[in-house]
Amino acid sequence: MTARRLRRFNLASLQAQCALNYVHLIRLLPQIRQIGSSKPIALTHGCHDWGVLHFQVLEVCPWTSSVQLTHDYSGTWLHLPALVVRVYHDLRLAEVITAQSHHSLASRYPYPNPAMHQPDEKSQLNGFLGQCLNHCLAIGHQPLPV
Condensed to tens digits (0 to 9), the pLDDT of residues 83-114 reads: 999 999 999 999 999 887 666 776 676 777 77
The reply to whether 137 falls in a domain is: yes
The reply to whether 5 falls in a domain is: no
pLDDT at position 76: 64
Q: How far apart are CA 35 and CA 14, in angstroms?
A: 27
If you average pLDDT over residues 125-139, what whole number do you get? Answer: 93
Element spanning 116, H or E: none
- Which residues face 98 on adjacent strands? 84
The reply to whether 14 falls in a domain is: no
CA atoms lying within 13 Å on the CB side of residue 127:
7
Where does the pLDDT of residue 2 fall: very low under 50, low under 70, confident under 90, or very high at 90 and above?
Answer: very low
Q: Provide the residue range defining the domain that includes 72.
A: 34-141
Which residues fall within 8 angstroms of residue 63, CB to CB, at 6 or more apart? 88, 89, 90
Bridge-based pairing of strands 93-99 and 83-88 is: antiparallel
pLDDT at position 1: 39
The reply to whether 94 falls in a domain is: yes
Q: pLDDT tens digits, residue range 44-83?
A: 877 878 888 999 999 999 999 999 999 887 666 666 788 9
CB-based contact 118:63 (threshold 8 Å):
no
Q: Looking at the 3D structure of the chain, how many domains does it have?
A: 1
CB-based contact 22:92 (threshold 8 Å):
yes
The reply to whether 146 falls in a domain is: no
The reply to whether 56 falls in a domain is: yes
pLDDT at position 31: 94
The reply to whether 67 falls in a domain is: yes
Q: How far apart are CA 10 and CA 62, in angstroms?
A: 29
Kindly report the pTM of this predicted structure: 0.83
Q: Please provide the distance, in angstroms rounded to a whole number, between the alpha carbons at the two ends of the chain.
A: 65
Write out the E strands in the chain: 38-45, 48-60, 64-72, 83-88, 93-99, 140-141
The reply to whether 136 falls in a domain is: yes
Q: What CA–CA distances, in Å, run from 69 to 13, 86, 113, 119, 146?
A: 23, 11, 27, 24, 23
